[in-house]
Each structure stands twice: as structure tokens, then as C-alpha cells.
Structure 1
Amino acid sequence: MKYLSKNWLLVSLIFSTPVFSQIDIPMIAQQLPQGASLGFVAKNLHNNQIITGYNASTFMLPASTQKVFTALAAKLTLGDQFQFETSLLTNGKIQNNTLNGDLIIKFTGDPDLTSGQLYTLLAQLKKQNIQKITGNLILDTSIFASHDRGSGWIWNDLTMCFNSPPAAANIDNNCFYVDLDANQSIGENVKFNVPSQFPILVFGQVQVVSNAESGYCQLDAVVHDNNRYQIKGCITRQSKPFGLSFAVQDPDAYAAAIVQRQLNRLGIQFNGNVQIPRQPQKGTLLAQHFSKSLPDLLKKMMKKSDNQIADALFRTIAYQYYKRPATFQLGAMALKNILAKQAGIKFGNSIVADGSGLSRHNLIAPETMLQALEYIEKNEDKLHLLGAFPIAGMDGTISGRGSLIQPPLVKNVIAKTGSLKGVYNLAGFMTNARGERVAFVQFINGYSTGELENKTKRAPLVQFESQIYNKIYAE
């Protein structure tokens, strides 16, 4: 120890033990299930003092608190006027109710684009008296490159809608649903009904079994090419049909099929081919659709923890910053460079893999997240980001969080949640009893209650959070 500087020792103590307060984190942490890992730090921003800290320099999974970084980088890079644009272009001319040339649809990753909005956009062709297209349908998705999912996304979650690919062509969140009719006799197969608006194929062999066999059942989705899905497994008899949602696996093919169906519905004749070139396309603008502006997108992303918006912005930031087709790897480079240069955040050996926090490759320390929170609060007059955080007991992902719904915490804590299997994180602010703003970061990883029922597994978490945040409030 004699070789360590006094400054290094002080920093180490601040971020490993509760130096400045009587808040005994190790004692409170005993409320958590055995095996859970905790990283925590809280700072009074009024007097610039660390209130308490515990393992604050330890790398952990940030989960959706990662969206705090994404929101800040988007504000600094894109600006409040930013909107995603979906546009119709052509390299031909309109003559005698015919578009003599290709129809180019430029997709830029709009995470809120609906099939209804796309239909309204295509209907602009009809208003220009176009009844026939002689050329090809060209989908320009060149804004993004490589895989449409981040490294470290769990493979067996990829069919889930919260893992839908945030591709350049993103229609209805790249998610669809299938109705299952399991009101069959034991031994018979479940029937699948795919709503007509979805250009996908679902088939499978799901057998109805007795209640005695139900404990050994599960449903599995096997993905094939051309957006074909095979459902396997077994299920007990269900008296009413129910829906299952799945993520689109081939967004380009999905978008092409929807566009062709909508052109047909509009009575616009098209017999050409579908092309998806790698290079950006140019042409005469025919029509365009804009998403909501950045502040509205960020509010939805933060309040609802919307993964699609987060990762669409993640790569869009990289596209704007580097002026080249964006991969997830380029997004990580851009986010860290922007936040380091413009916000002074020191990432050190942190790992950033995506903008949503879905990746199990992300590694962030609580003290690094705290830097982002401090910058946000200090620059709120320019950023206007605090209003995007969920409010305890009021809205977003902490509207019903058991530990925060009683006074004095209710309405007084704003925080971004972060949840994966075994992960319960919070990053945000509270106003303490003296009216001073406190920033805090809670990373809990490896949380497991074993075989406890779902309705009781959060009880230790509620007890821990209730105690520590009430103590911070009173500190």
C-alpha cells in the first residue's frame, strides 16, 4: 500500500465504502438474494459530494440504463429538429398515368413507421395519377450496414418482439402476431391463423396435452428463410384463441412484400423485380414521410424503454458522425467518442455493444453512468432531458415499482430502469428532504431467488430499494 498515492486511495475508498454518510450499504444489501452482485453510487449534486458508494468502479451489465448514454449522444449529435425520413423517389418520369422508371423507397430506420403510414405515403403516387410502374422496386436501406442486431444479443430471444431487428426498413416495429386455436381435443394439433396483413408463413406441430403433461411443455419457434416460422412443442387446451408475437427475421423481404401488397391495394400495377442495392440511390422526390421529432422519440424511448428507438438512434448517430453506412460497431465508436469529447465522460475499459442495453457484452461501471447523469443535470437548460425519465408512481417503467410508490419517494424519483434476466438497475435522480438534487446509479446483477414464485421473487428487491432510497432522501 505504501506505493499507492493518497489521491488514488481516497478515490478507491469513495467508490467502495460509504465514506461520507451513515448509510450502511453492505448491511442493506443483505436484503438481496444470496449470490447477487451490487454496484451503487449516489452523489449530492448541490454540494458536489458523494453520499455513498459501493463497488462503483466494478463493471456490470447496464441493461436498459444504457439508453441514458444513447439519449445524451442523440441530443448532442442529432439535435431536437431531427426526424427520421421515409421517402419515395424515381429515376424516371411520369407520363400518361405511368411511372416510366423505378420506384425507389429510401428507408432510414424510422422505428415508429407503421404500415398505415407507409400506405398513406404510397397513396401519394395515386394522387399524382400514377396507375402503373414500368420499372423495378428499389429498397434503399444503405444507411445501415452489416447485421441488424447487436453482438451479445441472446440467440433464443431473437424471435421475441423486444429483440426485433432495428433495421433501416422497420415497419410496425418489425413485429407481427399469430392467433393460436388450442381449443382442440387432447392429442390433436393446434391451429394457426395468420392475420392477412402480415406477409409471413407460420406452420408447425403443436399438440394439445393433458394438464398432467403440461409441466413438461414449452413452445419453440424455429426460423426458416423468407420469413417462415415453424412452431413446435405442446400446450394444454385453451378455451379461447390467443395471440403470440414474433420478431420479423428478414426486414427487407418483409418490407418488399408489404409494399407490393399496398401497391396492389391502391390499384397501381407493378410487375417488376425487387432490388436492394448497397449504394445510396438518387432520384426525383415524389413524396416523403417524417417521424416525430427527437424529443418525442426520446421521451418514448426512456419512458417505455423502447429498444427499437434506442438502436435506431444508436446507428443513426454513427451515420451522422462518420458519414458512412453504420454498423453496431461503428455506433459504439461514435457514442463513446461523442460523449468523451463533448460531455467529458471517461469510459476507460468499458464495453459498449448497442444503444438499447440488450447485449450481454455491455460492461459499464456505476461511476461511469454517474458521469452522464451529472452532465445531463448540469446542462438541463440546453438538453431538456430530465422530462424524459420515468417518474416514480406516475408513468413509464417505474409507475408501479413497489419500492418507489410510497411517499416521500413517489413522484420524487425519476429514473431509467434496466432489466434483463437477473438484472435490476436504476439510474436517475431524486430531490432529498432539503430540496437538493441527488443523482444515483444502482446496478444489481446475478439476482435470483431460485424456485420462488414470480409473485414473491421481487420482495427482496423492494425491501432493498425502499430502505436505501429512503435513507438517501433523509441524508
Structure 2
Amino acid sequence: MQLISKLCTPPTTTAKLKLLCTYLRPSNQSSKRLSTLALLMTAIASPFYAQAALPDAIQAALSRAELTAADISIIITPVGDKNASRLPPPIQVVDSNIDTQTQLASTTSEANSTSQKTAQTNNHNGKNNTDNHATNYVKNDASQQITLTTIEKRTIKKHEQKLHAYTDDPYTYQSLESIPTVLSDGVNSTSIKNANSDEDAHVSANVSTDKDSSANAATPAIKISFSPLLSHQPDIARTPASTMKLVPSFIALDTLGANFVWQTRVYHTGIIIGDRLLGDLVIQGSGDPKMTHERLQQLLYKVQAAGIRHISGDIIIDSGVFKNVSKDPAAFDNAPLRPYNASPDGFLVNFSTIGIKSYPLNEGQAQLTYKPQLANYQLPNTINTRSAYCGQARYSLAPQWQSQQLILNTTLPTSCKEHVFYVAYPDAKDFAARVIAAKWQELGNTLSGNVITQETPFDAAKNTKPTHGLAALPISPLPLVSYPSLNLTQQIYDINHFSNNVMTEQVALSIGAYNETANNKIINSQTSSLYQFGKPTATDYSAVLQTMSQWWQTHLSTPPPYLTNGSGLCRDCTITAANLSELLTYAYSHPSFDAYVNSLGIAGVSGTIAAHGKRLPESAAIGRAWIKTGTLNNVTSMAGYVKGESGQDYVVVGLINTEQALNAYNARTVLDTMLDWTAQH
């Protein structure tokens, strides 16, 4: 250790030893990092040029965030042909208070100026052949403004307000990243431009041929692979937080298809006479990730339109498509009321989340309304108020779910005014049953029995409930109603744009449930009911995680990541930057790439990366980066795609892990700088 101290103490330290000295700092988290000895041996065995220093801008951002190069893994790799980009057009953000034409003219002038500077730099470095084309791209991009998608700042502001206002679909509150972060005073969010880059790590391109194993294979496809523009600790397994969502969302696109839909089917036993069902209504859950309470009402309306208004029996919900997936909502962070901790379910309704809206009244009270309503459950209509700051539900309402009523254990701050709190219900199945009963009644219908939820398929032959006469007839051979979900493309937009955890878990579990074998069953001639035939394969976490691991080993070359769920809401899940980079590169050439990339947030514009422009107002990545973010108390991550100003597309991955809680704002700025640095290329 004395030798290490001497080597790492200025002025003895050389530029080549800086990164090594960073590795040699003590670490108490052996499970997350290589040991000091292992790192030392790795550094000795590897040439120093393989451990390239981080660009000055990124290193400066790390220093401001009180982080070191050992805390971060980065890999940035060119992808595709710059003359045939697969990324969407860049977005030009304009200020509505300034004449649009003036701004576009200014943009053109700046782009041409950038082109000239780029050309001068390239000539100075003797890189005429490679980068003159980049210069032409910038000129074309500047002169042909039709290629840009223009959006006003006020439109972005309205979009953000809508996301944070009351909506009947509380998906924006399904993520740790949706919780507002209080910024510290004096934070410098000025963009940092890098004047010193590892310019040509990406210039050499290797061309390889992938041969089709089919006997009738057509001309082999040409795959262009690039050396990384920047690669720093790409093979260290780190906690990814919500960037893990990129894994199941793409595997689902590849295995199920972008247009895949979940079909929730409704059957019945007994017989329908007039508008009365003498028997049970059976709802076969499909695992639909977004069965909001409005869509549930549409499903029940279709049942009503099919001729049933009164049920002389029960409504039975079969959620058996997923087995044993319920979890303790307090297990992750002791915050069971947060919607992001909701459990998946074979018939998940409204993310098991209720919206509580407050309206100020006179004389120190506020009125409360609820969406959706819960049948046979007491919800307080009013609450007393107090003078205080309006915070999250657990502070401003202190709600407690009891067996038959909701108790609010505090008075409401007057500053809340008209405000909506989203609160998760602890039991997905009980929540679904109560919402269905309330919705059925709201439609003017009646139910003589109960709403029953179960994780086993309905089987009239094994039904122990005594039935007589016509009500004892078996289940209908065909569904009365088949209600399709939003397609997978729409579902993963919510997952990746807004980082919806429980929807991700629904999709991940569906990968195991709706496999090719299950979807191509042969009808058994002795099967009397299509209820059994139409049911997907029941699955659990163990099976689906194995399925995703097998997919990875079949399609990619890096070792598969370690997952315990698909959402990234886990502290023992790990993935490497190389893992994510390979996945994103593979996806770039996939037929469903448009659905994938459009699901990502746009830097400075939308999704969980919308605040990028506030943190780095002059960032070159604004409107040019499609990114999935991740946040835990000691994790900040970003991964996705950046369109460089040269026209080259890049895959970018940055993972920051620390042993202590992060300053989220400063840590994110490090990765913002990574995006900005990439976009300038």
C-alpha cells in the first residue's frame, strides 16, 4: 500500500497512472466491484491504451459530482450507415416568443459555422477523406430544415404539465424517476463543451458476413461493426435501475411482435334468458399491462351490449395466466403506497392504484373524490385541513388501507388546493374485484352473487358451489366477448417513455406465457370448450427469466445479464455496459426498431429525459438523443441512441453506481455530458 500511495501521489503520478490510481481507491462493496488486487492485475496485464482516459468534459462533470472514474461504465459505439440513418429526425426546439423563421435562420448559420470549424479541424488532423462527408451532412442538415421536426417550448411545457396533472391513467407515477427531485441551490447546469476528444477510436470499421443457415438462404447480409468511440469499464456488472427495461421490452418485440395484443375473453356458464344470466360470468385474464379502469368499463359495457344486464350468479376472474407473482409492496424500499411497487397480476386493473383528488372547501375542510371507485369499501369524502407544505401522499394524507375502509391519519395541507395523490392498493386481486363490482353497478346492472378472483382456470366440473337447473350448464364454448388490449408498440411506449414498472413486469411475464408453442396448439377433438384452448401457458418469474436468458444466449454474444425481474426495481440485478450496448446495436437493425426507438424519451423534449435541457441548456443532444434513464438512490444510468451532428448514429450506455446515496441532479449531469459529447461528433 505504501508503493500504491507513492505512485498515486502527485507529482509522481503520470497521466497513464491516473486511471489505475482511481481503481486502487478502497471499496467496501466487493459484490459490486472487482477487488483491488484483481483490478491491479487487470491493469498490469492490459496495455494502457485499452484503458483510455475519459474525455475532459465527462471527467470534469464527475469531479463536480464528487464521483470518480471507477464509479462509471461508459461505452459509445457508432452504428449503421450515416447515409441511411434509422433514427427519427432530430427535433428542433424553438421558443414561441421568438420568430420561428429567425430561429431557423440562426440555426442554419450556426450549423454552417460548425461545418467550417469541423472542416478546419479535420484538415489540421489530416482526416479529409473521413470527415469531409460529415461536414457535408451538417450543411445539408442546416439547409434542409424540412428534415427537422419543430416543436415549441410552450408545447413541451404543456406536455409536462399534463403528465403531472390528474389523469385517469396514472402511469406517470409508476416510477422512481417520476418523483420530483428538489434541486440544491447554486447548481451550475451550464453546458460543458469538450475541446479534447478521443476522435478516432471509431474510424476503423470491420465488415463481416452473417450467413443464413437456411438451405434456401438469399444473399448474406452485410453487417458493419465499428470500434467504440469511447469504452470505459464496459464489462463491470452494475445495477442498472430502469435501464433494465430495455431488455424485456425488446425481447418482447422480437418474440411477440410489435402488433401483438392481449385478448381478455369473457365466457359464461348457465344460460341467458332475456337480459339475465342464470349462471356465472367468467373473465379470463390475459395479463394485459394496461387494463385501466376506463378500459375495464369498456369491457363490461361490451358484456352489457352482448345482452347481459343482470347476473344471477357470480363474476369469476381467472388470473391464472401468471402464477405466484404477488410481492410484498414494502419489500423494496418500505414504501407500499407508491404505485411503482405494485405487483403484477394476470388481471391487473389500473395498476392497482387509486387517484385521490382534493378540492378546497370552506371552514378548514377539503372534499375528496376517488377514481376508480371501490365497491363495498368506505372511502372518506372530506378531510380537515392544516397550514403546511403539500408533499407526497404518505405525508399529506398518511393513508392506511384497512379491511373495509381507508383511514387518513392526518389533516390535508391547505397548499395542496386541487391536487391528486396516487396511492397503491396492497392486494391486486381484491382491488380488481372491488373495481369490477363498482363498474358493473355504475352501468346500471345487477349482480346477485360476488366477484371472485382466483389463479386457477374456471372448471365447472370442479366447481363446489351448488348449482341447479339451467345455471348448472357448462361454460360457453365460445367467448361472449373478446376484448383486445393496446398493442405491444403502444405498451412499450408507456414502459420506456415513463418508466412504468408494473407494466414492464406484465410484459416480461407475457414473454413466457405467449410463446410460439402456446400460440400454435392443435385443437383436441374432444375439447368441449375453447376456454381451455384459448388460454396461454401459465408462467411465473422463474420460467420467464430462464426464457429471456435463453433468448440472450441465442441472439447475442455477451454473457446474459442477471435479472430477478424485468423492471430494474431491484438491487441484486446486474448488467454490463457491454450487455446494453450489444442489445441496442442488435435492435438497431431489427424490423421492429421503429417501435423500440420511439418508445424512448427524447433528450430535452419528453419522457424521463425531458429535464436534460434544463440541466444542460446548451447541450447538442437536445432533440437528438433517444434515451432510457434509470434512477435508484445509489444508481444513475442512461442508455439509448444519439444522432451525432456529423450524421453518424451512436449507441450510448452510461452506468453510475456508488456505495452511498447519490446527488441525483449532479450524477445525471455526468451522463447528460456524455450525451452532449456524443452528439457533437
Q: Deviations over 1:381-419 (max 9, x none)?
A: 767522322222232222331356535322221111112
Amino acid at match of 1:67: K
CA drift of 1:220 comes to: 7.4
Amino acid at match of 2:483: H
Q: Secondary structure at the match of 2:264?
A: strand
What is residue 458 of structure 1 aligned with on the other side?
A: 665
- Provide the C-alpha distance between the structure 2 equivalents of 1:151 and 1:362, rounded to a whole number of angstroms: 18
What is residue 335 of structure 1 aligned with on the other side?
A: 548
- Provide the C-alpha distance between the structure 1 equivalents of 2:65 and 2:607, rounded to a whole number of angstroms: 24
Amino acid at match of 1:318: G
CA drift of 1:204 comes to: 13
What is residue 125 of structure 1 aligned with on the other side?
A: 303
What is residue 325 of structure 1 aligned with on the other side?
A: 538
- Provide the C-alpha distance between the structure 2 equivalents of 1:11 and 1:331, rounded to a whole number of angstroms: 41
Gaps of 5+ in 2: 1-36, 81-204, 206-225, 459-474, 519-536
1:79 is aligned, of 253, 257, 260, to 257
CA drift of 1:306 comes to: 2.2
What is residue 434 of structure 1 aligned with on the other side?
A: 646
- Provide the C-alpha distance between the structure 2 equivalents of 1:126 and 1:32, rounded to a whole number of angstroms: 59
Q: Deviations over 1:148-200 (max 9, x none)?
A: 34899524222112323332222223211224578899xx9x77735374215
What is residue 78 of structure 2 aligned with on the other side?
A: 44
Aligned length: 455
- Provide the C-alpha distance between the structure 2 equivalents of 1:174 and 1:439, rounded to a whole number of angstroms: 36
Aligned 8 A contact 1:205 1:231 in 2: no
- Provide the C-alpha distance between the structure 2 equivalents of 1:59 and 1:285, rounded to a whole number of angstroms: 47
Over aligned residues, Cα RMSD in angstroms? 3.8
What is residue 31 of structure 1 aligned with on the other side?
A: 64
Q: Secondary structure at the match of 2:602?
A: coil
- TM-score, normalisation: structure 2: 0.59
1:428/1:184 Cα in 2 relative to 1: closer, same or farther (>3 Å)? same
Q: Deviations over 1:40-91 (max 9, x none)?
A: 2212235311222223222222111111101111012111231122221112
1:290/1:196 Cα in 2 relative to 1: closer, same or farther (>3 Å)? closer
1:377 maps onto 2:610 in alignment: no
What is residue 195 of structure 1 aligned with on the other side?
A: 370
1:398 maps onto 2:609 in alignment: yes
1:280 maps onto 2:280 in alignment: no
- Equivalent positions of 1:148-187 (< 5 A) are 148-149=326-327, 154-179=332-357
Aligned 8 A contact 1:221 1:229 in 2: no
Amino acid at match of 2:657: N
The share of aligned pairs that are identical, in percent, is 18
Aligned 8 A contact 2:640 2:651 in 1: yes
What is residue 159 of structure 2 aligned with on the other side?
A: none
1:256/1:239 Cα in 2 relative to 1: closer, same or farther (>3 Å)? closer
Gaps of 5+ in 1: 451-456
2:233 is aligned, of 52, 55, 64, to 55
Aligned 8 A contact 1:392 1:404 in 2: no
Q: Deviations over 1:349-396 (max 9, x none)?
A: x42122221222221121111111111123357675223222222322
Aligned 8 A contact 2:397 2:412 in 1: no
Q: Secondary structure at the match of 2:334?
A: helix
1:115 maps onto 2:293 in alignment: yes
Give the number of the structure whose residues are more often strand, by fraction: 1
Q: Secondary structure at the match of 2:583?
A: helix
Aligned 8 A contact 1:158 1:247 in 2: yes
- Provide the C-alpha distance between the structure 2 equivalents of 1:204 and 1:97, rounded to a whole number of angstroms: 35
Aligned 8 A contact 1:28 1:468 in 2: no
Aligned 8 A contact 1:90 1:104 in 2: yes
Amino acid at match of 2:550: N
1:18 is aligned, of 23, 39, 52, to 52
Aligned 8 A contact 2:258 2:595 in 1: no
Structure showing greater relative contact order (alpha-carbon pairs closer than 8 Å, 6 or more residues apart): 1
What is residue 568 of structure 2 aligned with on the other side?
A: 357
- Provide the C-alpha distance between the structure 2 equivalents of 1:227 and 1:155, rounded to a whole number of angstroms: 26
Pick which of 425-434 and 367-376 moved more.
425-434
- Provide the C-alpha distance between the structure 2 equivalents of 1:286 and 1:329, rounded to a whole number of angstroms: 33
